[in-house]
A and B are shown apart, each in its own frame.
Chain A
């Protein structure tokens, strides 16, 4: 059939869509976790403990981008005899997080309604 999808392609498409869906959610989750100051490794563990696994090569570039955008503030500090970079939500980040959460809730509610209709 013309429009049928091969199983392998289907898996690839699902993976791409899953990553796309996760991308935005991860930003919200990272911002929300950083209401409390954390360094990279503990942030990753905290996210994983809450069910959101994120690999370090995704997390650290994301943290840098969010910091460049002014949503996070960071500082190097010594802890347990090692230098660690601690991140925290900036006032601007707090404002954006609030807006993003409102948007996310609105999308979620719409989706719930749509799925309920089905």
Chain B
């Protein structure tokens, strides 16, 4: 019978003090009744192995005790889907941008430079781990407080079907977006053609800034790209749904535009700066510094360009497969706008 006492002691460990004795007394009585029943059926004392089987059939002590404990949770089933969504959003819009900013800082600011690639990876992982941990902890804490105090106020019951978001149409293009695009591009185009075609940016008696000859090619390419984008935006205004052709055109213009910008960064674009009362050595230093930092910006421009191209590719995929694909579902979870 020592086995039974040990079993009861193990169950009792997990029970709340206020109910412990009461529960154990009843459990003990039940086990002993079962043992007695079996002994009278067999007409002999049970062996240790048989008692062991009886206890095993009742389940492990922690499981048995758990049945008596109130069901507890930090975040319950009502709030859990919202909690999960907020966590995803927090990681997407906080942790990932943080990582991108950290990578930029550690690449460009000498005091943050790592001595070895190993140090760089360890530093990045350590920083990311802290950010992820704080994000997770603060979101969880917030929802735990909501679960404990705010859920009882019934705030989730206060809703109106009229306030629900309008139906999503993933491939629809908002007319207001197209109009804004056209106006902005026309203004930019006029400004560009009026002031930006010549490599001589500033030519005043006191200041002269001249860009490299490569600027001529670049500026005309920009005019061409703006013209194509205006045409596409007009089509979008008339037929406000993405088609594969127009989505493909947007991919092409974005890729060419960002590709050329990246190329521009590498061409030592500032050829000459002359300022009255400033020594040529000083202006040369400024020219070199601008060209140097333009060159250092190359990876950032490439990354931004790739990100935009990926969104454009995703749009083509979405047009092809329809808004109900799994990626469409992912986009809606991530809160991505239909007008991307």
Name A's B-contacting residues (CB within 8 A): 39-41, 44, 55-58, 60-61, 64, 76, 82-85
Contact residues in B for A55 (Cβ distance below 8 Å): 58-59
Sample 21 A-B pairs with CB under 8 A, ordered by A number.
Answer: A40-B29, A40-B30, A41-B30, A41-B34, A44-B30, A56-B27, A57-B58, A57-B63, A58-B67, A60-B23, A60-B26, A60-B67, A60-B68, A61-B67, A61-B68, A64-B68, A76-B25, A82-B29, A83-B25, A85-B26, A85-B29
In the complex, the answer to whether A56 meets B29 with C-beta atoms within 8 Å is no
Q: Which of B32, B33, B67 has a CB less than 8 Å from the CB of A57?
A: B67
Shortest distance from the beta carbon of B26 to any chain A beta carbon, whole Å: 5
Expressed in whole angstroms, the Cα–Cα distance for A84 and B28 within the complex equals: 10
B residues near A, CB below 8 A?
Answer: 23, 25-27, 29-30, 32-34, 58-59, 63-64, 67-68
Tell me the nearest residue of chain A to B26, going by C-beta.
A85
Expressed in whole angstroms, the Cα–Cα distance for A98 and B158 within the complex equals 36
| Closest residue of A by beta carbon distance from B59 | A57
Nearest first, the 6 A-B pairs at minimum CB distance are A41-B33, A61-B67, A57-B67, A57-B64, A61-B68, A41-B30
Distance in Å: Cβ of A47 to nearest Cβ of chain B: 14
Nearest chain A CB to B329's CB is how many angstroms away?
Answer: 15
Task: State the main secondary structure of chain A at its contact with B.
Answer: helix
The reply to whether A41 and B27 contact each other, CB–CB distance below 8 Å, is no
CB neighbours (8 Å) of A40 from chain B are: 26, 29-30
- Out of B29, B58, B68, which one reaches A39, CB within 8 Å? B29
Closest to A41 in B: B33
Within the assembled complex, what's the spacing in Å between the Cα atoms of A37 and B209?
102
* Nearest-Cβ distance from residue B105 to partner chain A, whole angstroms: 47
Min distance, Cβ B68 to any Cβ of chain A, angstroms: 5
Q: Chain B nearest CB: distance from A83 CB in Å?
A: 7
Q: A61-B67, A64-B68, A83-B25 are in contact. Are A56 and B30 (CB under 8 A)?
A: yes
Contacts of B27 in A (CB 8 A): 56, 60
Residues of A with C-beta under 8 A to B26: 40, 60, 85
B104 to chain A, nearest CB (A): 44
Residue contact A56 to B23, C-beta cutoff 8 Å:
no
B121 → chain A closest CB, angstroms:
40
